[in-house]
Amino acid sequence: MSEQTLAASDIGQLEALHGRLLDLCLRLEEAASDLDIAGDLADLADAMPPLLESVHDLEERLLFPDFDRHAGSCFAALAIERLKAEHRCDRLAAEELSLTLKAVADGQCGLSPDTISRMLGGFQESLRRHVFSEKIVLESLLAAKAEARDIFG
């Protein structure tokens, strides 16, 4: 079985998915300031988990292994394991927030609007951190490949 490397089309897809995550962040910010938009909350609730799954799948299937192969250091494996752990936390948070937003949209949530706004704010900040971190991984990988060197070399 040959190892897959990150192709230009994969990079384009990853950048598009990261763009969708950042758009989601804007929508979460808007929702945090106006929790009365039940339809938007339900749409957000439905959009979050599958979008994260798509991004994480591409990163873990192609970006992380390619990064590790070009790292030149055992540090990469540790960094990748940390990013994968963050993926798991992000997915759990997305599921919890999705259920909460569905409950709010259905008028069945017992949490205060302030609590829900804080949940939305915290999650969107986590997503922004996610995108920033993985853009650094991607840029480091591309620079190392272009210069025919190890990432940490």
pTM over 0.85: yes
Quick one: CA dihedral 63, 69, 71, 75, positive or negative? positive
For residue range 117-153, what is the model confidence (pLDDT) as tens digits? 999 999 999 999 989 999 999 999 999 999 999 988 6
Q: For the chain, give the number of residues.
A: 153
**pLDDT, greater one: 153 or 18:** 18
- Which of residues 75 and 3 earns the better pLDDT score? 75
Could you give the CA distance from residue 92 to residue 116 in angstroms, rounded to a whole number? 16
Calpha distance 132→124 (Å, rounded): 12
Q: What residue spans define the domains of the chain?
A: 8-144
Mapping DSSP to helix (H, G, I), strand (E, B) and coil, where does residue 50 land?
Answer: helix
Within the chain, how many helices (H) and strands (E) appear? Answer: 5, 0
pLDDT per residue as tens digits for the range 21-50:
999 999 999 888 888 776 788 899 999 999
